[in-house]
Amino acid sequence: MPLPHLSSLPKLLDREVRDKNLRLLGWRAKEFAWSVLRPAMPDPVFIIGCSRSGTTVTFQTIAASGQFLHFDYEIPQFWNSLYGPLNNGWKSEAAGAEDARPEHRDRALAHFYARLGAGPVLDKTCINTLRVAYLHTLFPQAKFVFIQRDGRDNVSSMIDGWRLGRVDGGFGLERNFGPSPVPVAINGGEFHEWHFFIPPGWRDYNTARLEEVCAWQWVTANRLALDASRAIPPAQWIRLRYEDLFERPVEMFREAFARLDIPFDEPMQARCASLTSRPTSIVKGAPCPQKWKEHNPAAIERILPLITPLMREMGYDPND
């Protein structure tokens, strides 16, 4: 083995770098152990939904049950390393059943085992809304908790997210993928990179208005998830509504917990009853229904024809 170059010695002596490398070596050793021992691990529970649809509060609530192993952050880089823009010719971040490979399942289980241990895993990564058929092929017994939101409010929140980011950073994707392979000049050049996720057909929207881009993201994410759900046994598909977080949070989560076969005790009931007062992944102000009327009314009116058919299919009245 060659000796490290002298210029790299300061990095090797840096405690933070050293600890990071040791942690990485530990994960690799545990991944190898999983490949040899193959400890039993149940298929995961995936929390999915379009960005800004309530996936964070849903994840936080189910994770608080203490019944699952989980990361406290999303892992899009991992899922994209199995199949994503950098290895599929920048098609999108979507994946279908035809893209699933047995080694992808092995890599995912080894990844979870090395970092979380053996046990039931709860994963919340929004791009997986574009990958339901892919994940169902890899994990036939997995359960999916899909949360939907009125398209007007969801698109409005995404517009805010593109423009304002969040308290711990923005949603731009260049940090994950590097520069786009083709020019991006969304909203008259206001944006030169995509935010949140890269949907199928993204190249057709590289010079579109921001509200059109967000509407397309909302439509494609929900369309792909709902289409794929038809092939999933009903017992494994749990569909929630963002609006129920305000109207019936206790009942909504009690039903979800029962479908997940996990206890819903008095402390959890109290937690759910106070959800609207808890901080979440807020972009602009506290969450509330029909927020679009205050934030981006003109923009939403312009894209309403684009989202109306799917809104009706999902049970929303675009005229209310």
pLDDT (tens digit per residue) in 119-137: 999 999 999 999 999 999 9
**How far apart are the C-alpha atoms of 134 and 94, rounded to whole Å?**
9
In a domain, 11, yes or no: no
* Residue 1 binned pLDDT confidence (cut-offs 50, 70, 90): very low
pLDDT at position 287 is 59
pLDDT in tens, 17-37: 777 788 889 889 998 888 888
The pLDDT of residue 7: 56
**At 155, which CATH number?**
3.40.50.300
Distance of CA 222 to the CA centre of its chain: 12
pLDDT for residue 101 is more than 70:
yes
DSSP 8-state code for residue 5: P
- Residue 21, domain member (yes or no): no
Does 194 fall in a domain?
A: yes
Asked whether residue 290 is domain-assigned, the answer is yes
Three-state SS sequence of 262-313:
CCCCHHHHHHHHCHHHCCCCCCCCCCCCCCHHHHCHHHHHHHHHHHHHHHHH
Taking all residues of the chain, what is their mean pLDDT, rounded to a whole number? 91
pLDDT of residue 320: 85
Say what the pTM is.
0.91
Task: Specify if 27 maps to a domain.
Answer: no
The DSSP line for 214-247 is HHHHHHHHHHHHHHHHTTS-GGGEEEEETTHHHH
Q: How far apart are CA 123 and CA 44, in angstroms?
A: 7
Q: Is residue 12 part of a domain?
A: no
Residue corresponding to tokens 């944006």: 191
The answer to whether 135 and 142 have CB atoms below 8 angstroms apart is yes
Least confident of 48-62, 92-106, 156-170, 247-261: 156-170
- Residue range 69-84: average pLDDT? 97
Range of the domain at 67: 40-313
Number of domains present in the structure of the chain: 1
Question: Tokens 């423009």 sit at which residue?
Answer: 163
pLDDT band at 203 (very low <50, low <70, confident <90, very high): very high
Kind plus residue range of the DSSP H or E element containing 106: helix 102-116
Beta sheet of 121-124, edge-to-edge order: 69-70, 121-124, 45-48, 143-148, 237-241
Pick from 22-26, 155-159, 223-227, 273-277: least confident: 273-277
